């Protein structure tokens, strides 16, 4: 229930490693099931999201180049705007 809405990164490629559980990676018009021990590649410029299959999953997200983590875990007192990080919602 905490999956991100479909979105587009203009600056970063996103990689999601599934530690435990399963998810569906939606990239453009494609849907791919990704299980534990596998990666989902969510490229910049392409609408994408993930959907957890079942009750929960443990994931490791990597953004290349870095910096987007400040949107997800803002510093104390910050209220970041997704658009300032190049994130849009189609």
Instruction: Provide the residue ranges of all domains of the chain, joining segments of one domain with +.
Output: 1-66
> What DSSP letter does each residue of 33-79 carry, written as one string?
EEETT-EEEE-TTS-EEEEEEEEEEEEEEEEESS-THHHHSPPTT--
Q: Quickly name the fold that domain 1-66 has.
A: Jelly Rolls (2.60.120)
Residue-wise pLDDT for 27-79, tens only, equals: 999 999 999 999 999 999 999 999 999 999 999 999 999 888 878 777 888 88
More confident residue, 6 or 71: 6
Residue 81's pLDDT band (cuts 50, 70, 90): confident
β-pair partners for 49: 26
* Cα separation, 39 vs 89, whole angstroms: 23
The Cα angle at residue 86 between residues 33 and 90, in degrees rounded to 5? 55
Taking phi first (over 0 means left), then psi (-120 to 50 degrees means alpha), and beta for anything else, what does residue 13 get? Answer: beta
pTM attached to this predicted model: 0.83
More confident residue, 2 or 12: 12
Residue 21's pLDDT band (cuts 50, 70, 90): very high
């Amino acid at each position: 229930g905490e999956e991100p809405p479909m979105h587009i990164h203009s600056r970063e490629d996103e990689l999601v490693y599934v530690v435990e559980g399963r998810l569906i990676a939606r990239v453009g018009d494609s849907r791919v099931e990704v299980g534990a021990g596998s990666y989902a590649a969510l490229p910049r410029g392409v609408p994408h999201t993930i959907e957890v299959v079942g009750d929960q999953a443990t994931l490791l997200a990597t953004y290349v180049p870095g910096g987007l983590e400040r949107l997800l875990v803002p510093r104390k007192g910050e209220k970041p705007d997704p658009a300032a990080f190049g994130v849009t919602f189609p």
